Amino acid sequence: MAGTLFAITVVVAAVAGLFMAWSIGAVAIGGGAFAPAVGANAIPVRRAAVLLAVFGFFGALLQGASVTETIGSGLVRGTAVTPLAAGVAILFSAVLMAIGAIGRYPIPAAFTVTGSMVAAGLALGGAPAWDVYTRLAAVWVVAPFVVALASYVIAKLLVRDDLPKEYAVSAVAGVVFLTIPLFELPYFGPAGQRGTLAGTLAAWTPVVQEVVRVGLPILFAAGGAWLGYRLTLQHGESETNRRLLVWLGILVAFSGAGNQIGLAVGPVMPLLEELSVGYTPVLLVAAGGLVVGALTGSARLIEAVAVEYATLSPSRSIAALVPAFLLAQIAIAYGVPVSFNEIIIAAIVGSGAATGAAGEVNPRKLYFTIAAWVGSLVGAFAVTYGLVRLLVGAGVA
């Protein structure tokens, strides 16, 4: 009996993890990374899905471990979520996301998985980790307002008639390039840990360590600003904006996958540790599931987010992507699972509102989306709690 139960647990966890990885590629980042570029007619939907798959794969593989650790063990105190309970939690979360995709509403993976995992832990007798919940709630509540405001300001900067376009683009490119040497990646830190390019080079030059740590990002920012300036002069505003949208979409796909894939892997890590399976092969398989989701299911959400929330010009699309990318990288650094759909939609609304014209933002779609988000969080918690309590009562959880 014990062997049969273990086999069932492995199957449920594997199916749930792969389904969630698919849902992340199709829904969680599928509706965000390239939606502004598609909405601004800078790239076709199918090509966006392919780029999402390629760069989402590398983002999940290289940056996925950070959030994996938070989701895997940090949401309840005093007990570990059993593999079967975790499988049930993420399986139901993925189902909710798939239902949202059918209705063209991008349900956040961060909401459903976190709600389900907390419910599973509490149903097993764990104690609430209030400090973690406070941190997550603060990010989830504050982040969309910060992102919307930032995208609004950037959009206003880009559409100003009294500011030469090469300077506006240069400023945006400089901010983006500033963060590149601060990406947390494996192989840049001590054995088994992550680090940044700036930190690694600083460690190699102890005499001028702080100069390198601070100077390298500034050097990257200067290079990005120069590149944006030169591109605008050589190719004009329209072509430069089109290129920037594609490049920013690539960065957002990379960052979003790195932040979100932990929601598929983290819940089943206790089982994988029991099987003596490490992070890297599991992240590789999960990243493959994300690729399949991006290629087979992301087009629907890309189109929905691109056209149904706000009217986007190329400049306003750029304004939406920049703060979304920056926040995703900050969240990865702190191991916080953010709602990528929440971020990108808030950014699109903020940039779409920058013109001040009526009809630029669709409030009805936005209100229904927020209701769907709240409902998915509450529903994931309630149903998972009930299911896990049934498993506990049956003596199999």
| CA 393 from centroid of its chain's CA atoms | 36
User: Which amino acid makes up residue 47?
Assistant: R
CB–CB of 373/106 below 8 Å? no
User: Domain-by-domain residue ranges, the chain?
Assistant: 2-158+260-393
Q: Say how far apart CA 252 and CA 191 lie, in whole Å.
A: 27
User: Which amino acid makes up residue 275?
Assistant: L
pLDDT, tens only, 8-27: 788 888 888 888 888 888 88
Residue 245 contacts by C-beta under 8 Å, 6 or more apart in sequence?
Answer: 36, 37, 40, 42, 43, 314, 317, 318, 321
Q: Say how far apart CA 33 and CA 51 lie, in whole Å.
A: 10
* Closest residue by Cα to residue 120 from 393, 391, 396, 395: 391
Q: Tokens in use for 65?
A: 């471990």
pTM exceeding 0.85? no
Q: Residue 226: its pLDDT value, please?
A: 93
Percent with pLDDT over 90 in the chain: 7
Phi and psi, residue 339, nearest 5°: -85, 105
DSSP assignment letter at 43: S
Q: At what angle do helices 340-352 and 209-260 cross, to 10 degrees?
A: 100
* Closest residue by Cα to residue 87 from 258, 264, 261, 259: 264
How confident is residue 284, by pLDDT bands cut at 50, 70 and 90? confident
Q: Residue 1: its pLDDT value, please?
A: 47
pLDDT, tens only, 157-212: 877 777 787 888 888 889 889 988 888 776 666 655 677 888 888 888 777 788 88
Q: Residue 386: its pLDDT value, please?
A: 93
Q: Residue 190: its pLDDT value, please?
A: 63
* Closest residue by Cα to residue 242 from 29, 27, 25, 47: 47
Residue 174 contacts by C-beta under 8 Å, 6 or more apart in sequence?
Answer: 221, 222, 224, 225, 228
How high is the mean pLDDT of the chain?
81
Q: Residue 223: its pLDDT value, please?
A: 93
CB–CB of 372/301 below 8 Å? no
pLDDT, tens only, 361-393: 677 878 888 888 888 889 999 999 999 999 888
User: Which amino acid makes up residue 316?
Assistant: R
